[in-house]
Amino acid sequence: MTSTEGNETLGLGKNRIEALTDGIFATVMTILVLSLTIPVITQPSGSEPPAQQLIDELGQLSGLLPAVLTYIISFVILGVYWVGHHNLFHYVRRTDRILLWINIAFLISVGLLPFTTALLGRNLTDQAAVILYGGNLMLCSILLRTIWWYVTSGHRLVDRDLDQHIVSIAGRRIITGPIIFTAAIVLSFVSTWLSMVLYASAAVYFIIPSHLDVHFTRRNVRH
């Protein structure tokens, strides 16, 4: 902690910005669930056999599946951005006002996700909803990429000896997101289901370990 103490801009060091980011991510992930509307289940008349009644009731709830699916995809992608944000800030040594405001722009676009997720969950086959969702995810990726560009260009806010290899691998990894999301938006003109498959794939893709991890693991000291 002491090593970053002197880097704060008017008391707003890296730790503070990370704390606000963590708080917003935790709350955004939690209120995603508000996108699921709570149905009042119509109980079938008692004349049917119990097993049939249960199937009827579960049938009424199955309408929620698209919303649950988008909830899970959004939660996972938020997890990806959260991990990504920490990975980037791991290398940040100093902060300045511009970094602060790019970061707040990033948080504004992250904060919109519960809205676009709910919009998609309730209009899963609607192209406009699919495009807005993809656009929101793309905006998040682009702003995260901007943070990385800003702190690393000319080693502005990172260590002077930060390996250029890490800079370019991380940069390339973040930019994969927008490429997938662009493809999803284009495919929405063919079928919105293809777009959904791509959004889910993006979530899975980012969970799989990358070269960056391998690189880092070598430096990972065990106690």
Of residues 184 through 203, those in contact with a copy of itself by CB under 8 A are 189
**C-alpha closest to that of 97 among 24, 11, 163:** 11
Of residues 58 through 77, those in contact with a copy of itself by CB under 8 A are 58, 60-61, 68, 71-72, 75-76
Which residue's CB is nearer to a copy of itself, number 128 or number 197? Answer: 128
CA distances from 34 to 68, 136, 209 (A): 11, 18, 31
**C-alpha closest to that of 35 among 125, 147, 112, 134:** 112
Of residues 82 through 121, those in contact with a copy of itself by CB under 8 A are 82-83, 86-87, 89-90, 93-94, 97, 100-101, 104, 107-108, 111-112, 114-115, 118-119
| Smallest distance, a copy of itself to C-beta of residue 104, A | 4
Binding mask 123-162 for a copy of itself (x = CB under 8 A): x-xxxxx-xx------------------------------
Which residue's CB is nearer to a copy of itself, number 83 or number 197? Answer: 83
Helix H segments across the chain? Answer: 14-31, 50-61, 65-91, 97-111, 113-122, 127-152, 164-187, 192-207, 211-217
| Smallest distance, a copy of itself to C-beta of residue 180, A | 19
| Smallest distance, a copy of itself to C-beta of residue 213, A | 6
**C-alpha closest to that of 4 among 18, 23, 20:** 18
Count the residues in the chain: 223
Told to check if 24 binds a copy of itself by CB under 8 A, we report yes
Question: What CA–CA distance (Å, rounded) separates 88 from 169?
Answer: 12
| Smallest distance, a copy of itself to C-beta of residue 2, A | 10
Question: What CA–CA distance (Å, rounded) separates 128 from 138?
Answer: 15
